Structure 1
Amino acid sequence: MSVRARPYDAVKRGLDVVASAAGLVLLAPVIAVVALVVAVRLGRPVLFTQPRPGKDGRVFTLYKFRSMRAVDETRGWVTDADRLTAFGALLRSTSLDELPSLWNVLKGDMSVVGPRPLLVEYLERYTPQQARRHEVRPGITGLAQVKGRNAVDWERRFAYDVAYVDRRSVGLDLRILVATVRSVAVREGVSAEGEATMSRFEGSDGER
C-alpha cells in the first residue's frame, strides 16, 4: 500500500529550511572558492543545471557545480569518461559538487535526505513499485547513497528508495546523515564498476 503524508513530513520540511539556509550561509566561503576553481579549471557556466523529477514527478531545475568538460568532438570529449577530469572526480568524490543543491532544498524542490533525483526520461521506465520513490521529495543524500552510492545496481537502489519512503523518520534521517559523512570521508561507491559515474537505467528486466 502506498504511504503518503506523515506527521514527520511537516517537521522534516521545517528542518530542511533551517539546515539549507544555515548551510548556504556557513558554507558561503567554500561555495565561493569552489565556484572560482570550477570557472578556472572547467570554464563557464560554473553551475550544471538539469531538469529532474521531484515529488509526485513534478519537474524542477537541479543545481550542482560542473564537474565535466563541455562536449567537444574535435578533442574526443564525448563520453562521461572523456569529459570527467581529475578535478571533477575530486568534486564528485567529496560531494562538493552538491553544494548548490542546498538552494533546491531551501526552495522546496528537494530535501536534505531522500531518494536521489534522477533523469526525467526514467519516469516512464519505472515499475509502479519503483515509481513510489517520488512519493517524497528527492534528497541530496539518501538510503541508497549510504548503502553503496553509485556502486549499487539499479534494482537494489530502487528497493532502498522505496524502503526509505516506507520507513522515513527523524531517526532514520539522522542515521543516513551520519553514514553519509563516513561514506564521503572514505569516498566509497563514487562510480559504478566500469563507469565514470553510473550506468544508465534502461528499465527493469520484466518491463523492457
Structure 2
Amino acid sequence: MYRKWIKRLLDIISALIILLLLMPILLLLMLLVAVFLGRPVFFKQTRPGYQAVPFQMIKFRTMTDAHNAEGELLPDAQRLTRFGKFLRATSLDELPELWNVLKGEMSLVGPRPLLMEYLPLYSKEQMRRHEVKPGITGWAQVNGRNAISWTEKFNHDIFYVSHYSFCLDIKILLLTCKKVFIREGITQAGSVTAEKFTGQGNNNTWAVMESHRA
C-alpha cells in the first residue's frame, strides 16, 4: 500500500535533490527574469490545496506588469513575452514550486492546483481532486495538459485520486520529462494558456477508462 508518509518522504528527498542539482540554473533564471520581466521575480498566487485549504503557490513570473493608458493591466497575450513563453514551454517557471513541496503544501505528483474562484463551480465529483495534495505535475498534464478540455482534465484528476500509487507516480514523472522535452500541450487553441473554467457542460458522469491504469 502506498502510504501517505511514504509519498511525503519521497517528495522531500526528491525536491531536495532537484533543488541542489538545479541551484545554478535557478539562480541564473532569477537573474534573467529580473532583467527581462522585472521584479519581483516570483509570482505568488493563492490556490486551493489538500482539502481545498488555501496556500501560496510560487512560480517564476512569465509576464510583465504593462498597463494601458487607463492604468489597467494589458491582456495576458500582450504581457507574455518571448522569454515568458520560453519559461512556460520548458516548464522552468514551475521550478519554484519545489519550495511548496518541501513545505508540505504540494506533492511532486497530483492534480494541478487551480484558481480559488473555481471552487464554487465544481461538482461533488470534481471536488474529489482535493482529496490528495496538488502536484507540480499530474495525470492530466501527461495526457494533454492545456490542450484538452476541462471535462477531460477532471476525468484524469479523479482517475489519479482513485488509483494513485508509487508506480503511477513514477510513470507520471517519466512521462512529464518526455512532455517537457517535446513541449506538448502547453497552450489551448485560442488562448495563451488554457481557457477559463466556467463550470458549463459539467456533470457527474465520469467515464475514466480502466485502460489508463499504470
TM-score after normalising by structure 1: 0.93
2:46 counterpart letter in structure 1: P
1:52 counterpart letter in structure 2: R
Percentage identity across aligned positions?
50
Instruction: Please state how far the C-alpha of 1:82 moved relative to its aligned partner.
Output: 1.0
> Residues of 2 paired with 1:206 and 1:191: CA distance?
21
> Residues of 1 paired with 2:116 and 2:202: CA distance?
21
Matching residue within 105, 116, 136 for 1:140? 136
Query: Are 1:97 and 2:93 an aligned pair?
Result: yes
Give the structure 1 partner of residue 106 of structure 2: 110
Query: Are 1:69 and 2:57 an aligned pair?
Result: no
Over 6 Å off, 4+ runs: none
Instruction: Please state how far the C-alpha of 1:8 moved relative to its aligned partner.
Output: 2.4
Structure 1 unaligned segments of length 5 or more: list them. 1-5
Structure with more of its chain in helix, by fraction: 1
Is the partner of 1:188 in helix, strand or coil?
A: coil
Is the partner of 1:25 in helix, strand or coil?
A: helix
Give the structure 2 partner of residue 3 of structure 1: none
User: Do the aligned partners of 2:63 and 2:76 also contact (CA within 8 Å) in 1?
Assistant: yes
> Residues of 2 paired with 1:170 and 1:37: CA distance?
36
2:105 counterpart letter in structure 1: D
Query: Are 1:54 and 2:36 an aligned pair?
Result: no
Instruction: Please state how far the C-alpha of 1:10 moved relative to its aligned partner.
Output: 1.5
Matching residue within 174, 186, 201 for 2:182? 186
1:136 counterpart letter in structure 2: V
User: Do the aligned partners of 2:49 and 2:130 also contact (CA within 8 Å) in 1?
Assistant: yes
Structure 2 unaligned segments of length 5 or more: list them. 204-214
> Residues of 2 paired with 1:9 and 1:168: CA distance?
11
> Residues of 1 paired with 2:49 and 2:143: CA distance?
21
Instruction: Please state how far the C-alpha of 1:168 moved relative to its aligned partner.
Output: 0.2
> Residues of 2 paired with 1:206 and 1:20: CA distance?
35
Instruction: Please state how far the C-alpha of 1:204 moved relative to its aligned partner.
Output: 3.4
Change (3 A) 1:160 1:72: same
1:173 counterpart letter in structure 2: D
User: Do the aligned partners of 2:2 and 2:166 also contact (CA within 8 Å) in 1?
Assistant: no
Instruction: Please state how far the C-alpha of 1:77 moved relative to its aligned partner.
Output: 5.6
Residues 108-143 of structure 1: per-residue CA shift (max 9 Å, x gap): 000000000000011111000001000000000000
> Residues of 2 paired with 1:127 and 1:71: CA distance?
36
Change (3 A) 1:191 1:9: same
Matching residue within 141, 154, 159 for 2:155? 159
TM-score after normalising by structure 2: 0.91
User: Do the aligned partners of 1:126 and 1:204 also contact (CA within 8 Å) in 2?
Assistant: no
